């Protein structure tokens, strides 16, 4: 397996008045292509800051971040924007869908930024929506969809550009228990298809879907546990 992510001595400091708050304190981490990883940790542990760095939404104070063979830690904002669109698929707790556009248009949006033709966008978006179980909801707007369906649209949007990693931040945080189980089974299927999946969660039962659980505390990695998960077994 090849490394898709390599972090070398990553730090992230934030100024607060006359103080410097050290949120990440020398993170070293490798994630292989095709892994399924969960980040856990209490509030203030640094997991959200680390997630922002992995998603190229922020840059480290020091250290290097190699994503898919490219050092993104020193890239310009424009280069980072391109990386976010092509290399990373985001799934957020709050779905982040455009309210006045259909499921199909929401899913196709990253391909607009990537410069794909309308025909290519439509064909790919239809395929992805079918894959996530929404073949009969393509023309619906977000307010016509349930929470679980909206999150499926968000997952489809994350997948549409065939990114190197799927990054999910509390993907079940706004869903009821039954819908949470359905969405996590969808992530299991996405991983089984060969995708690298990284999720942040504070819920132990959600983290147990992953094959590797990394726990952070006070800006450092406290533990890194690889688990055996039987394929085809639903929790």
Among the ranges given (16-25, 175-184, 225-234), the one the predictor scored with the smallest mean pLDDT: 225-234
Give the model's pLDDT for residue 232.
Answer: 46
Asked if the model's pLDDT at residue 233 lies above 70, the reply is no
DSSP 131: H
Asked if the model's pLDDT at residue 234 lies above 90, the reply is no
Residue 20, beta-bridge partner list: 15
Asked if the model's pLDDT at residue 144 lies above 80, the reply is yes
User: What's the pTM value of the predicted model, to 2 decimals?
Assistant: 0.90
Give the model's pLDDT for residue 37.
Answer: 97
Q: What is the dihedral of CA 170, 175, 180, 184, to 10 degrees?
A: -40
The per-residue pLDDT for range 60-106, each reduced to its tens digit, is 999 999 999 999 988 899 999 989 988 999 998 888 999 999 999 99
- How many CB atoms are closer than 10 A to CB 158? 25
Confidence of residue 1 (pLDDT cuts 50, 70, 90): low
Confidence of residue 235 (pLDDT cuts 50, 70, 90): very low
What number is the average pLDDT over the span 218-224? 96
**Structural domains of the chain ordered from first start:** 36-60+77-226 (3.40.50.300)
Q: How far apart are CA 214 and CA 154, in angstroms?
A: 25
**For the chain, what is the mean pLDDT?**
92
Among the ranges given (8-22, 44-58, 221-235), the one the predictor scored with the smallest mean pLDDT: 221-235
CB-based contact 223:39 (threshold 8 Å): no
Asked if the model's pLDDT at residue 231 lies above 70, the reply is no
């Amino acid at each position: 397996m090849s490394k898709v992510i390599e972090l070398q001595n990553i730090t992230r400091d934030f100024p607060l008045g006359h103080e410097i708050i050290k949120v990440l304190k020398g993170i070293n981490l490798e994630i292989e292509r095709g892994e399924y990883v969960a980040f856990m940790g209490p509030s203030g542990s640094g997991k959200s800051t680390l997630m922002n760095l992995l998603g190229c939404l922020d840059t480290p104070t020091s250290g290097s971040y190699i994503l898919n063979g490219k050092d993104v830690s020193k890239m310009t904002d424009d280069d980072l924007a391109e990386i976010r669109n092509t290399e990373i698929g985001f799934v957020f707790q709050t779905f982040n869908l455009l309210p006045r556009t259909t499921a199909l248009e929401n899913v196709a949006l990253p391909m607009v930024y990537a410069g794909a033709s309308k025909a290519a966008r439509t064909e790919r978006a239809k395929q992805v929506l079918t894959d996530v179980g929404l073949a009969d909801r393509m023309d619906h707007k977000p307010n016509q969809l349930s929470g679980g369906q909206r999150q499926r649209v968000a997952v489809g949007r994350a997948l549409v550009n065939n990114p190197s990693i799927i990054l999910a931040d509390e993907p079940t945080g706004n869903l009821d228990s039954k819908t949470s189980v359905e969405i996590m089974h969808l992530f299991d299927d996405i991983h089984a298809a060969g995708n690298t999946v990284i999720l942040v969660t504070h819920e132990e039962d959600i983290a147990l879907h992953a094959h590797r659980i990394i726990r952070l505390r006070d800006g450092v990695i406290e533990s890194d546990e690889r688990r055996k998960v039987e394929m085809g077994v639903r929790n």
